[in-house]
Amino acid sequence: TQLLEQSPQFLSIQEGENLTVYCNSSSVFSSLQWYRQEPGEGPVLLVTVVTGGEVKKLKRLTFQFGDARKDSSLHITAAQPGDTGLYLCAGGAAGTASKLTFGTGTRLQVTL
Amino acid sequence: KAGVTQTPRYLIKTRGQQVTLSCSPISGHRSVSWYQQTPGQGLQFLFEYFSETQRNKGNFPGRFSGRQFSNSRSEMNVSTLELGDSALYLCASSLTRSTGSGANVLTFGAGSRLTVL
C-alpha cells in the first residue's frame, strides 16, 4: 500500500512568514500533484510535477519533486491570509492517472 | 464554463439505509472518479469511470458501487449504510484518461456530505 506522509500536520503562522510543507513516501510515484482545499469546497489543483528533481514556481509557491520521485515539498514565500487552507499532496502511478494516493494533509492558517 | 456539480450537497441517513449520490462532470469530460474524505483516513480513491466503464477501483467493500451514463454523468451508491460511511464524497472529472506517466488534471466538485446516524 502506497502511503504519503505530510508534515507538519498543522501550521499557524503570521502574514509575511515563509513556510515549507513536506510530502514523503517510501514508494515511487510517476507524478506528484499538490492541491489546496478550503472549507466546504473540493480540492483545487495547484501543480503537477512528473520529473525527478523538477522544480515549479507558481507566484509565491515553489514546488519540488524529489530526485527519486518519492518525496515532494511546497514552499510558500511571504504567506498571506488567502493562503489559508488544507494542502494535500497526491501521488499518481503510471497508467492509473485518476487513481491518486493522497497525503495526510497539512492545515495552514495565516493570520494578520 | 460550469464546474463539477454534485448533488445532494448534504444528506442524513440512518444505518442500514442506502444512498445514491450524483455527479455531473464538466462538459466534454469523459473521466469521472470518486473519492471519500474523512478526518481519520483523509482522501481515499473509490473508483474511476471512463466512457461508461469502471477502469480502476479502490479498496472499498462491495457496498460501494457506481456507474456512468452515456452523457458522462455518474452516480455512486452505498448500500447498507454504516456509521463509518459518514464522510464527504468527492467527485472529480477530467478531460481524458491518461495512460502514460503523466497525471490527469482533476477538477473536483464541492462534494456531498453524508451523515449516517
The count of other CB atoms within 10 Å of the CB of residue A13 is 16
Contact yes or no for B108/B90 (Cβ under 8 A):
yes
Question: CB B31 to CB A99 under 8 A?
Answer: no
Interface contacts A/B by beta carbons within 8 Å: 77
Report the chain B residue with the minimal C-alpha distance to residue A5: B42
Rounded percentage of chain B residues whose pLDDT exceeds 90: 85
Q: Hunting for cell 523538477 — which residue is that?
A: A54
In whole angstroms, give the CA distance from residue B111 to residue B117.
19
Model confidence over A56-65: pLDDT tens digits? 999 999 999 9
Ranges of beta strands (E only) in chain B are 5-7, 10-13, 19-24, 31-38, 42-50, 53-57, 64-68, 74-78, 87-94, 107-108, 112-116
Which residues in chain A have their CB less than 8 angstroms from residue B58's CB? 99
Window 4-23 of A: residues touching B by CB (8 A cutoff) are none
Q: What is the DSSP string of A33-84?
A: EEEEE-TTS--EEEEEE-STT-EEEETTEEEEE-TTSSEEEEEESS--GGG-
User: Inter-chain contact A97–B103, Cβ cutoff 8 Å?
Assistant: yes
C-alpha cell at A1: 500500500
Query: Is A66 an interface residue toward B (CB < 8 Å)?
Result: no
Residues of B in Cβ contact (< 8 Å) with A49: none
Query: Does pLDDT of B61 surpass 70?
Result: yes
Name the minimum distance, in Å, from the CA of A7 to any CA of chain B: 14
Q: H-type helices in chain B, by residue range?
A: none
What residue in B sits closest to A40 (Cα-Cα)? B110
Q: B103–A95: do the CB atoms touch at under 8 Å?
A: no
Nine cell digits for residue A87: 494542502
Given this model, what pLDDT does residue A32 score?
93
Q: How far off is chain A from B14, nearest CA to CA, in Å?
A: 23
| Interface probe, candidates A4, A98, A99, chain B, greatest B C-beta count within 10 A | A98
pLDDT digits (tens, 9 = 90+) for A3-59: 899 999 999 999 999 999 999 999 999 889 999 999 999 999 999 998 999 999 999
pLDDT in tens, B5-60: 999 999 999 999 999 999 999 999 999 999 999 998 999 999 999 999 998 899 99
> Strands B5-7, A55-58: parallel, antiparallel or unpaired by DSSP?
unpaired
Kindly state the average pLDDT of the residues A73-102. Answer: 91
